[in-house]
Structure 1
Amino acid sequence: MSSLQLVRRDGALLPRPLRIDDDADGALALAELYAPPAGRTSVRAMMNTTIDGSVTGADGTSGTLRNPDDSLVFGVLRALADVVLVGAGTVRAEDYTHPAEDEHLTGGDHRPGGGRTPLLAVLSTTGELPEGLDQHWPLLLLTPSTGLDAARERSGLPAEQVLAAAGAVEALDVLAGRGLLAIQAEGGPGTLGTLAAAGRLDELCFSITARTVGGSSPHVIDGAPRDQRWALDSLLLGEEAMIPRWRRRD
């Protein structure tokens, strides 16, 4: 069974580490730690990275970086999100089907919007819906208004599930307008870069996996140079990864 040590919470070191196990009590403890704010939109980035800064393993996907430590935390984070926002390119590369959540927190009790599962919102500039998605899962396709009608026809989704959004920043406002306030952005790096440049990322929740892979993978946040300051809010330590939570300094 995986276990983590919580060593920092609310920006301060704990007098002694708090053990969090991969069980119902551990899931509840993490849900309390990462609870999104009530009554307002919050945007949390969630990604894997290696010690040397790669967002993919040697095979070119992030899947090989996953481990029991971050699986525990990321499953809880998805149970707290109203919607998971991800670029179509990442969906294709990472073989998304639906955003699985922690089994101990299913049902929506910890999700601000109250939905039984997190919606999956796919951001596509071309209006193409990636293959392989579970279309029985609550699913939204966000695409520029110029291709909206064609995207609805190609995707086979009901019209109300294909929404107009010119990019990642506008997508946040569209989702919030539907009452989806706890938004979790899972990449790719270009999408996170766009949101960071607009000042729309509130939290960075990264798993730094205890591996190096070399190569020339993009940064977790890619795009034009931009200097932003962040404060370390919490830190979890495991055998396979360290998992910091950073909050944007306004």
Structure 2
Amino acid sequence: MLYPAAPATPLGRQDEPDLDAVYAYPAASPWLRANMIASVDGAAVLDGGSRALGSATDRKLIGHLRGLADAVIVGAGTARAEKYGPLRPKQERRQRRLAAGLTPVPRLVIVSGSLDLDVSASAFTEAELPTVVVTHAAADHARRKQVEQVADIVVAGKQQVDVHALIDALAARGLSRLLCEGGPALLGTFAAADRIDDLCLTVAPLLVAGGETRVTSGPAVQPPRSLDLAHVLEHDDYLYLHYTRA
């Protein structure tokens, strides 16, 4: 039988829930959280990126999620398209991180098999903590030498990036609370490997149509991974869904 669902918890009010408590990482370690946004008809991209789908509240939530993580993981293509720069939490967030035993800022982790990276980008040259680049053993040697000048290199896999090895290597460096912000190809790889522990999905009140990319791409997950709905938040017709492993 179907029953009326409890209303979503509203954001942006005085009685707004403590988001740090709502999204606290569990004791299990390492833990990979994914955070993505999509329109109501499933588009994860609008005007070449995801930013046009979002809102000020969505960006605020991104800040909270980053503030709880040891590292923010992103694919090289998404880092390029979304113009990722150095991660710079506000002073209050820095203090909360330090009080929780974290570094002042999360580490930025860029995943790139080709190492076709702009080493002059601010994500490398202005990072407070060295950016981590994850690649595989067969990556171009000359490019690897270039990247090593501006970033910490992690080799995970022989001919392609192995996400199991990636997670283990980051955990060995003390980076166990992980936040993956995509893109869809990287997130699809994590999904295929069954390494997504929870998913934060913002549903934007937009109809996009067309043939836009979904939040994951790549081979189908067989069998599909079942998820439990942990909670729903709402603001200005945006829904903020939080799913965990069933």
Specify the TM-score bucket, using the shorter chain as the normaliser: 0.7 to 0.9
Distance 1:52 1:78 in 2: 26
**Residue of structure 2 aligned with 1:228, choices 219, 225, 229:** 225
Q: Tell me, yes or no, if structure 1 residue 31 matches structure 2 residue 26.
A: no
Q: Tell me, yes or no, if structure 1 residue 170 matches structure 2 residue 165.
A: yes
Map of 2:57 onto structure 1: 69
Deviations 1:48-105 (A, max 9, x none): 1111100011x12111112022112111000001001111011111111134546642
Preserved CA contact (<8 Å) 2:33 2:196: yes
Distance 2:98 2:113 in 1: 32
Q: Tell me, yes or no, if structure 1 residue 88 matches structure 2 residue 76.
A: yes
Preserved CA contact (<8 Å) 1:85 1:184: yes
Preserved CA contact (<8 Å) 2:114 2:140: no
Letter in 2 for 1:241: Y
Equivalent residue pairs, number: 232
Preserved CA contact (<8 Å) 1:83 1:182: yes
RMSD: 2.6
Map of 2:86 onto structure 1: 98
Q: Which moved more, 1:149-158 or 1:116-125?
A: 149-158
Q: Tell me, yes or no, if structure 1 residue 124 matches structure 2 residue 139.
A: no
Q: Tell me, yes or no, if structure 1 residue 43 matches structure 2 residue 32.
A: yes
Distance 1:212 1:18 in 2: 23
Map of 1:7 onto structure 2: none
Aligned in 2, Cα 1:222/1:22: closer, same or farther, shift over 3 Å? farther
Q: Tell me, yes or no, if structure 1 residue 199 matches structure 2 residue 190.
A: no
Distance 2:91 2:232 in 1: 23
Q: Tell me, yes or no, if structure 1 residue 186 matches structure 2 residue 181.
A: yes
TM-score normalised over the length of structure 1: 0.83
Distance 1:190 1:112 in 2: 32
Distance 1:98 1:212 in 2: 32
Letter in 2 for 1:56: V
Q: Give secondary structure in 1 for the equivalent of 2:218.
A: coil
**Residue of structure 2 aligned with 1:209, choices 204, 213, 227:** 204
Q: Give secondary structure in 2 for the equivalent of 1:85.
A: strand
Preserved CA contact (<8 Å) 2:45 2:53: yes
Q: Which moved more, 1:130-139 or 1:233-242?
A: 130-139
Deviations 1:137-185 (A, max 9, x none): 12111111233753442225357x1111232332111111111010001
Map of 2:213 onto structure 1: 218
Map of 1:141 onto structure 2: 133
Q: Which runs of 5+ in 2 are unaligned?
A: none
Q: Which runs of 5+ in 1 are unaligned?
A: 1-12
Preserved CA contact (<8 Å) 1:43 1:184: yes
- How far off is 1:232 after superposition? 0.3
